[in-house]
Amino acid sequence: MTLRAKAPLRVSFAGGGTDVKPFPTTDGGCVLSATIDRFAYGSLRSRNDRQITIESVDFGTSIDFGVKDPILFDGKLDLVKAVIRELGASEEEGYDLLLHSSAAPGSGLGSSSTVMVCMIGLLKERYKLNLNEYEIAQMAYHVEREQLAIQGGSQDQYSAVFGGFNFMEFDGPSVVVNPLRIRDDTVNELEHNMLLAYTGITRASSEIIEDQTQRLEAGSQETIRGLREQKRLAVEMKVALLRNELSLFGELLGHAWEQKKRMSTKITNGYIDEIYAAARGHGALGGKVTGAGGGGYVLLYCEFHTKHKVAEVLSSMGATVEEFAFAPRGLVTWWAND
């Protein structure tokens, strides 16, 4: 028998960055996001020779070590090793672990944190640990942000665990996930009218987040106003979704992008600006870069009769344009026959 897990990646509509310390402590943050039909996958198969092997399809690398060997953090799959150290210190039997994500690391869909959630899900089932959704997400955050000191917020971990449309509130260390009951016709219309355009650029989000944090700590009024406006827009967009006011939602998505760019000069670049201007010029009501910025995916809302025009022009500019659907479920694990 083989243990498997999958967890969905996410798109963030507004509020990204307000979940990054120290803003949740000073002002309180909130994020509006939804999970999509792109996933991180994990598979764990037991072995009886007291060895652990880890293969990452995304990074094209694999490592192996004994179950009692010291875990060395040397830049090779450190996130995975940190989870094993957190949950597998008493391991007596080995296993083969295979990990893969639908999106490349650094593409802005939260893939690294989602892989972490998958890992915890697998080891939770292996060791029969009684962890609820909040505890799984908090553990993923603790390992990634606190133990390994990788810059970032906490929305990705909670999105991957809970799944669906969520309005998340951050107050210091406290996180509250509010699932949203979005009408089926609203979800269908969103899927009908939205696009993801991959820029082909991957980036280390920690560099952008570090710049944002330094500006915040230095008292940059531009950064502070941008973050506060992100909070306000997250609330407005939540209301628009619940009321099925999708043209307004699309326009607010564009406003969220304008405010996001105030948070750091590294959030956009010339190519992203060109893509966004072309999309708006061909009928997109609004859009924004997913994740920290600097590359990855651009999320766009279009009226359906202009959507194909937006896709054509962005494809001609070198972007990879994709349709997507929303994923209502979060982390799942199951056993499969070999």
Question: How many angstroms separate the Cα of 164 from the Cα of each of 17, 65, 139, 153, 249?
Answer: 20, 37, 20, 19, 17
Please tell me which residue in 27, 37, 74, 156 is annotated as part of the active site.
156
With tokens 């989000």, the residue in question is 205
Query: What element of type H or E holds 131?
Result: none
Could you write out the DSSP letters of every residue in 64-130?
EEETTSPPP-SSSSHHHHHHHHHH-TT--SEEEEEEEESS-TTSSS-HHHHHHHHHHHHHHHHTT--
Residue type, 84: I
With H, G, I as helix, E, B as strand and everything else as coil, classify residue 171: strand
Buried b (16+ CB within 10 A) or exposed e, 147-182: beebbbbbbbbbbbbbbbbbbbbbeeeebebeeeeb
What tokens does 329 get? 């479920």
**Of 47, 57, 129, 45, the residue nearest 86 (C-alpha):** 129
Would you call 156 a catalytic residue per the annotation?
yes
Query: What element of type H or E holds 39?
Result: strand 29-47
Q: Which active-site residues does the annotation give?
A: 156
